[in-house]
Structure 1
Amino acid sequence: MKKLFIAEKPSVATEFAKALKVPTGRKNGYLEGDDIIVTWCVGHLVTMCYPEKYDERLKRWSLDTLPFLPKEFKYEIIDGVKNQFTIVSNLLNREDVDTIYICTDSGREGEYIYRLVDMMANVHGKTRKRVWIDSQTEDEILRGIREAKDWSEYDNLSAAAFLRAKEDYLMGINFSRILTLKYSRNVASFLKLDRAVLSVGRVMTCVVGMVVNREREIRNFVKTTFFKVLGKFENQGLSIDGEWKVNEKSKYFSSPMLYKDNGFREKIYAEELISHIEKIADENNREAVVLSNDKKKETKNPPLLFNLAEIQNECSKRFKISPDETLKIIQELYEKKLVTYPRTDARVLSTAVAKEIDKNIKGLCKFSALANFANNVLEKGEYKNISKTKYVNDSQITDHYAIIPTGFGNMNSLSKLSLSVYELICRRFLSIFYPPAIYQKFAIRFGIGDEIFIANTKVCVERGFLDILSPVKTEGEDDETGDNQNPEYIKMISSLRKGSKLMINSLSIKEGETVPPKRYSSGSIILAMENAGQLIEDEELRSQIKGSGIGTSATRADILKKLFSIKYLALNKKTQIITPTLFGEIVYEVVNCSISQLLNPELTASWEKGLTMVSNGDITSEEYMTKLERFVGIRCLNVKKLNNQYSLNAVFEEVSKEYKGMKG
């Protein structure tokens, strides 16, 4: 009897065949050895049927046929891949095949791809085993085969996968049809289009909402101008910059003209303060007295490892490429056995992989750009204790651990950009074996009469992991080594004590203004989606927040790509900044007045959390499906009752003013 291995793509099937020593001379859609057959899907082979396959009358869109909530869902083989499906189906049902090894991508979508094929091929009487791997190295493939579990162990994951597809299908079909039927005439007329189809989805509509809401925050932002007073002080021939701050003894304490506690609303008051201080300075030999010098040691640990969202954000900043482009590059690296599986939410390693992490480090000794760093890690043996750190945590891993390098082969075939992304992953990986960066922070208070100036200075005294990360500093990023690395300067500020005196060199006014929120970039929107609509800038804080986001690591890039292609959102390819289009804002207004829940990131994330609960066995498919059908059904009935088309025209007019009268 023979064993059949089925992969998701031909390239992956080839790697399995090599590991299993199966001849790689292809037959028609599969490879065969003495007792092993290897075949492949080409991504999805099976899909859900459109409503007209249930009933021909449903081809015509009508309010009378909505909501569409089939009791049993129908599936069909995708046009263009029917030949490969036939090959796979025949192999799955071959009499001499007794065991099927499922080797599709190790995740919810990979599970779904195989289960659909198995269902449509009507497979019976075979043993099915699930291979779950984190990279495509030969060792990992053979380990995955050895440790393959019965496919029933993944039934909950499969249930969640089917539900995710049904959810997207029901929301997409019902909400897109009902909103198009109700409002397309208004939208088309306003935009001067022949027709307008309103595409609505559980995740994509929420993302449009995030971008539109951010754009409106920026539009409604009212700029405030303020004026700060700065002082330049001198000691031992070196200068220190300080900033005036109000205190209880100050002439301006509780003044209504203050802007916060370190500036003024009008320039005239800043000028008055300078005149006041100059007078005191002249009476005191132009000396300022040190009131305190608070010194604080700060330790900064290496960041956690990359998951897909983090590296998509990083590549958007560094290389100005979209999340979709980043995923393609990392998928290429994965298929060339250079990195682990990219579609992961985890930023840590598993205990099991931590025990053999020296193999990954040794591989980087052949990478000339990082060989010294890798050798240094091996020589010092720091990797031996990695399992006791925050970088290893089994409880934070669902399907896969973080993205890390697995080898050094196939490097010559990489483009310059792919090589740069690979190097980024390698540097982040090696950095966790390096010591923290140590900073010395100084908060110095100077007194001139009753007025106080404060100088905050941070200097790096031990670079630690920065030695490996700093060569790939993000464009426009602050220098992480601190303010002034001059040894003489560090010695001077360290020597300042209470009562020390400095010369007042000059006083000046700095005009500032409040700034609006930043627009989302293609990278920051991915992070915001991961964190259920919150754009959390702080890297450490992000790592502490664990929960279901909007979409998944595997789908977010495609969702953005679709929103750009249907022209709801616009992407500046040079800056990677995202803005809404007029069409996108009009769709936002339509949804806001009809099914506003779709614009709520927390609610959208709760659906994803529900799927995770199904996957974990916490709730049943039936419970989830009941909730889903109720949600879709009630919203459709509510939209039918609405009679707000006419009032929307005024809203469209208001929105269009922001686009300078250019419709479309």
Structure 2
Amino acid sequence: MSKTVVLAEKPSVGREIARVLKCTKSGNGYIEGPKYIVTWALGHLVTLADPEVYDDKYKSWRLEDLPMLPKPLKLVTIKQSGKQFNAVKEQLNRKDVDEIVIATDAGREGELVARWIIEKARVKKPMKRLWISSQTDKAILDGFRNLKPSAQYENLYRAAQCRAEADWVVGLNVTRALTCKYNAQLTAGRVQSATLAMIVSREEEIRTFVPKDYFVINAKAKGFNLQYRDKNNNSNIFEVDKVNKVLSAVRGKEANIVEVTESYKKQYSPALYDLTELQRDANRIYGYSAKQTLSIMQRLYENYKVLTYPRTDSRYLSTDIVATLPDRLRAIAVGSYSAVANEILKGKITGHKGFVDNSKVSDHHAIIPTEEKGKLALLSSEERHIYDLVVKRFLAVMLPPYEYLQTTIKADINGETFVAKGNVIKAKGWKKVYDKEATLAEDEDDKDSQTLPVVKKGDKLNVMSIDSEKHKTKPPARFNEGTLLSAMEKPQKYVSLDKVHAKTLGETGGIGTVATRADIIEKLFNMFYIEKNGKDIIPTSKGKQVIDLVPSELKSPLLTAEWELELERISKGQKDSRGFIEAMRKYAAELVDDVKGSSDKFKHDNLTGKKCPDCGKYMLEVKGKQGRMLVCQDRECGHRENLARITNARCPECKKKLELRGQGEGKIYVCPGSNCNFREKASQFEKRFDSKSDKLNKREVAKIMNKLNQEKEDPMDSPFADLMNMFKDKK
């Protein structure tokens, strides 16, 4: 009997598909059943070959050997996953297999994972595509009942291949050129350089910002406050003379009510979550990094099956999902969600344009709960936080709008205008699903709201006091991970562009994709181009210098927007992929010439007095996300030492996270708090946890190990997302 091989992207997904398809016989890297053989990748098993595969001269990094433009680019098996590739290849080539079902992640990168494996395995058998947005049993069975012809995704594969080859040709050439020219570990790329440029530009704006004094004038009447407004309705006054003039005119005078307006206002729920919006909220509310949120989402999607596909850029649902809404509501109708979920279930559920719109759904719909009841008790606090955000937003879009009565009182005090605003809630609507409210950004209309007395036009009020307050204008805020994601999604708001180019950026969804932005931010930290000060992201000296050295086109978000526009056309069959690649090869050569001809210099300004134990050169002190370390300045050496690592252990005095400093027997825990002097030898500090809390610690360790094992099966990073690997390969 002939069989079908199902190729999943990861072991966890493969095992679930195998269970649903009644495959029970385990083999080496696969599970077999009567009709199907389910096997899996480990993320990418196959990648584009390193430069030295094409020519031995590329084993040494030399400026004169650039640009590297081999043709065609070759595929190789990733060394550490070669065993699994051979297992997959064996199943694909079995004589009793006459069909392949691609069941990798339903997106551009997932398509590339599968097609490269199949191409490297030299298999030519009929193929179909499983395209699903959740990992529930129902979704998998429905997906297998509606398998798509693989030819339908041929152009998507071509677009993915073009993106990968373009990143190789441009990224590797520019990285080698910069590294050789300045003898420092420098990388560049169309997304990371444009992102870093925005951070550096913002820092320069802050550095050159000159604060200005301004004043606001407040009048206090009985029970409420009014604020001065000029003829243009502005409350800020920048001239001291004008402040004194207004104060002298109004002090001691009564207020005449000249206008009282009441208006009913409706505020609808924010749209459902896509990945970027979820990462922003998770960073703002819980301080989670973009990478951390994606990892948590991946577990909730794959392991717990309670949320749908995370890597989506859509915030709406398609009409075919509306029929499943009651089942999804029943699945989440537990605990604190049950009252609202059941209230919605009792009424008529309509898929209105506020959250259902086919024209606004791309490959995948917004992130929502699945129809499967989850065991919420099994979720860690981090997982529960992300689940809670998604479920509340899902409930909110199906509830009525928040309604309130806004009252505005306008008063005249001796010819000057003063205004007071107040809101009265008439119907909580969707806001009932939220507490009072760390999870929502402050509403503009609520900001100046106060309880107002009942007054009418013509009333006169006694003014108890009138005073001015002095303020200073503030520079633009530094980026944090949440606002940086916003800038990557809509860079046209953060850089100066003409209308045509701004429109292009808007249409292409910014720089990077929902799937890659977290990795790009991580890479900037790992290259020590940026560091954190609390939640704020600041560029390092290295980051500022590399932006000066990188060719100008690579620093503009427009390049990425133009690439994405071209790739989108390729994925829709509107553009030939060969023309795109040829253009990229030509562009890479131009960039290399740009670097070669530069007269710029690079200077390490973080040199220490300590010499590298391996090569004897002075080491650099750098600050990573997890603490401070020493790094050898020589790119060929690569020696690293930890100076201080931020731990999860808390200071017994001020509860801040402790730093672990030093090596071996000399290791000590030190509190980094400016007003705390706690220091203790590591051996002494750790003794505290050896006796009383031993059982608790074992439970915690088991829990952490279980999570690490789950995360081990997360997709491997794309080989084009992290050019740092190239430095490791050279040693």
Give TM-score scaled by structure 2 length.
0.78
* SS of aligned partner of 1:369: helix
Of the three residues 261, 264, 270, the one matched with 1:303 is 270
Which residue number in structure 1 is paired with residue 718 of structure 2? none
User: Which of the two has greater helix per residue?
Assistant: 1
Q: What are the superposed Cα offsets for residues 292-351 of structure 1, whole Å, 9 maximum, x if unpaired?
A: 123332211111000000000000001001000000100000011100000000000011
Which residue number in structure 2 is paired with residue 582 of structure 1? 541
Task: Measure the CA separation in 2 of the matches of 1:607 and 1:556.
Answer: 16
Q: CA deviation at 1:602?
A: 2.3
Amino acid of the residue matched to residue 281 of structure 2? E
Q: CA deviation at 1:663?
A: 7.9
* SS of aligned partner of 2:335: coil
Which residue number in structure 2 is paired with residue 531 of structure 1? 490
For structure 1, the 5+ residue unaligned runs are 185-195, 249-259, 282-286, 537-541, 654-661
Q: Is the 8 A contact 1:532 1:605 kept in 2?
A: no
Amino acid of the residue matched to residue 167 of structure 2? D
Which residue number in structure 2 is paired with residue 292 of structure 1? 259
Of the three residues 600, 603, 611, the one matched with 1:645 is 600
Q: CA deviation at 1:173?
A: 0.9
1:274 equivalent in alignment to 2:274: no
Amino acid of the residue matched to residue 353 of structure 1? I
Which residue number in structure 2 is paired with residue 447 of structure 1? 412
Which residue number in structure 2 is paired with residue 11 of structure 1? 12
Which residue number in structure 1 is paired with residue 157 of structure 2? 158
Is the deviation greater in 128-137 or in 611-620? 611-620
Q: After the TM superposition, which residues 614-625 of structure 1 pair with which residues of structure 2 at under 5 Å, given as runs? A: 614-625=570-581
Task: Measure the CA separation in 2 of the matches of 1:395 and 1:451.
Answer: 50
Task: Measure the CA separation in 2 of the matches of 1:663 and 1:20.
Answer: 54
Which residue number in structure 2 is paired with residue 132 of structure 1? 131
Q: CA deviation at 1:269?
A: 4.8
Of the three residues 519, 535, 545, the one matched with 2:478 is 519
Which residue number in structure 1 is paired with residue 368 of structure 2? 404
Q: CA deviation at 1:479?
A: 9.4
Task: Measure the CA separation in 2 of the matches of 1:11 and 1:576.
Answer: 34
Q: What are the superposed Cα offsets for residues 200-223 of structure 1, whole Å, 9 maximum, x if unpaired?
A: 111111111111111111111110
Q: Is the 8 A contact 2:307 2:368 kept in 1?
A: yes
Q: CA deviation at 1:429?
A: 0.3
Task: Measure the CA separation in 2 of the matches of 1:127 and 1:429.
Answer: 39
1:393 equivalent in alignment to 2:343: no
Q: Is the 8 A contact 2:508 2:564 kept in 1?
A: no
Is the deviation greater in 332-341 or in 512-521? 512-521
Task: Measure the CA separation in 2 of the matches of 1:305 and 1:11.
Answer: 27
Which residue number in structure 2 is paired with residue 350 of structure 1? 318
Q: After the TM superposition, which residues 132-531 of structure 1 pair with which residues of structure 2 at under 5 Å, given as runs? A: 132-184=131-183, 196-234=184-222, 239-247=223-231, 261-265=234-238, 267=240, 269-279=242-252, 281=253, 287-335=254-302, 336-365=304-333, 367-381=334-348, 383=349, 385-386=350-351, 388-406=352-370, 407-470=372-435, 473-474=438-439, 477=442, 489=452, 492-493=453-454, 496-531=455-490
Which residue number in structure 2 is paired with residue 188 of structure 1? none
Amino acid of the residue matched to residue 535 of structure 2? Q
Q: CA deviation at 1:391?
A: 0.9
1:22 equivalent in alignment to 2:29: no
* SS of aligned partner of 2:80: coil
**Structure 1 pair 545–635 and aligned structure 2 pair: CA distance change class (3 A):** closer
Q: Is the 8 A contact 2:196 2:543 kept in 1?
A: yes
**Structure 1 pair 627–470 and aligned structure 2 pair: CA distance change class (3 A):** farther
Task: Measure the CA separation in 2 of the matches of 1:602 and 1:634.
Answer: 17
Amino acid of the residue matched to residue 331 of structure 1? Q
Q: Is the 8 A contact 1:317 1:475 kept in 2?
A: no
Task: Measure the CA separation in 1 of the matches of 2:262 and 2:448.
Answer: 15
* SS of aligned partner of 2:508: coil
Q: CA deviation at 1:447?
A: 0.9
Amino acid of the residue matched to residue 163 of structure 1? C
Q: Is the 8 A contact 1:304 1:347 kept in 2?
A: yes
* SS of aligned partner of 1:370: helix
Amino acid of the residue matched to residue 26 of structure 2? R
**Structure 1 pair 216–522 and aligned structure 2 pair: CA distance change class (3 A):** same
Task: Measure the CA separation in 1 of the matches of 2:450 and 2:219.
Answer: 21
Amino acid of the residue matched to residue 262 of structure 1? S
Task: Measure the CA separation in 1 of the matches of 2:218 and 2:174.
Answer: 58
Amino acid of the residue matched to residue 95 of structure 1? K
Q: Is the 8 A contact 1:459 1:484 kept in 2?
A: no
**Structure 1 pair 264–35 and aligned structure 2 pair: CA distance change class (3 A):** closer
Task: Measure the CA separation in 1 of the matches of 2:444 and 2:71.
Answer: 59
Task: Measure the CA separation in 2 of the matches of 1:347 and 1:293.
Answer: 39
RMSD: 2.3
Q: CA deviation at 1:270?
A: 2.6
Q: CA deviation at 1:171?
A: 1.5
Task: Measure the CA separation in 2 of the matches of 1:419 and 1:526.
Answer: 22
* SS of aligned partner of 1:638: helix
Q: CA deviation at 1:545?
A: 5.4
Q: Is the 8 A contact 1:614 1:621 kept in 2?
A: yes
Task: Measure the CA separation in 2 of the matches of 1:320 and 1:578.
Answer: 13
How many residues are treated as equivalent by the alignment? 597
1:41 equivalent in alignment to 2:41: yes
Task: Measure the CA separation in 1 of the matches of 2:230 and 2:81.
Answer: 72
Q: Is the 8 A contact 2:159 2:568 kept in 1?
A: yes
Q: CA deviation at 1:502?
A: 1.5
**Structure 1 pair 535–317 and aligned structure 2 pair: CA distance change class (3 A):** farther
**Structure 1 pair 526–6 and aligned structure 2 pair: CA distance change class (3 A):** same
Q: CA deviation at 1:485?
A: 7.1
Task: Measure the CA separation in 1 of the matches of 2:527 and 2:108.
Answer: 27
Which residue number in structure 1 is paired with residue 688 of structure 2? none
1:553 equivalent in alignment to 2:509: no
Q: CA deviation at 1:626?
A: 2.4
Q: What are the superposed Cα offsets for residues 532-582 of structure 1, whole Å, 9 maximum, x if unpaired?
A: 35369xxxxx9x95433211111111111111111111134xx43211111
* SS of aligned partner of 1:423: helix
**Structure 1 pair 89–480 and aligned structure 2 pair: CA distance change class (3 A):** farther
**Structure 1 pair 209–44 and aligned structure 2 pair: CA distance change class (3 A):** same
Amino acid of the residue matched to residue 194 of structure 2? C
Amino acid of the residue matched to residue 144 of structure 1? G
Task: Measure the CA separation in 2 of the matches of 1:602 and 1:48.
Answer: 26
Task: Measure the CA separation in 2 of the matches of 1:615 and 1:152.
Answer: 12
Task: Measure the CA separation in 2 of the matches of 1:483 and 1:451.
Answer: 20
Task: Measure the CA separation in 2 of the matches of 1:96 and 1:436.
Answer: 58
* SS of aligned partner of 2:429: coil
**Structure 1 pair 313–221 and aligned structure 2 pair: CA distance change class (3 A):** same
Amino acid of the residue matched to residue 408 of structure 2? A
Q: Is the 8 A contact 2:312 2:363 kept in 1?
A: yes
Task: Measure the CA separation in 1 of the matches of 2:245 and 2:600.
Answer: 58
Task: Measure the CA separation in 2 of the matches of 1:58 and 1:73.
Answer: 15
Give TM-score scaled by structure 1 length.
0.86
